[in-house]
Amino acid sequence: MRKSETLVQYTKENIRQLIRNNIKRGQGKLLPYMINRFQWTYFPKLKIVPRFPLNIDIEVSSRCNLACDHCFRQYMDIKENQLMDAGTYK
């Protein structure tokens, strides 16, 4: 079993499947894709910060109704349960 990018996820891909899947994912842009995968894997280990982020996650809502015991949100009124307006998102 090969370890994935995060500490809690694992994959059963062997090396042959990994190479085949990476070629499929990078179809038409294999070199830039492989450079990105190298940066994604090794930049954090080498403590290198790129000029532009490799990935951007945009959270357009903080709404949650799960009320998990370990979550601070249920004990605080932090007024973050609104949707991001379209202008800010754009």
CA distance 73 to 62: 10
Whether residue 21 lies inside any domain: the answer is yes
Domain boundaries, position 10: 2-46
Give pLDDT, residue 18: 84
Whether residue 22 lies inside any domain: the answer is yes
pTM: 0.50
> Which ranges of the chain have pLDDT less than 50?
8
Whether residue 74 lies inside any domain: the answer is no
In the chain, how many domains are there? 1
CA distance 35 to 41: 10
Whether residue 31 lies inside any domain: the answer is yes
Whether residue 28 lies inside any domain: the answer is yes
CA distance 50 to 40: 10
Whether residue 17 lies inside any domain: the answer is yes
Give pLDDT, residue 73: 67
Whether residue 62 lies inside any domain: the answer is no
Whether residue 34 lies inside any domain: the answer is yes
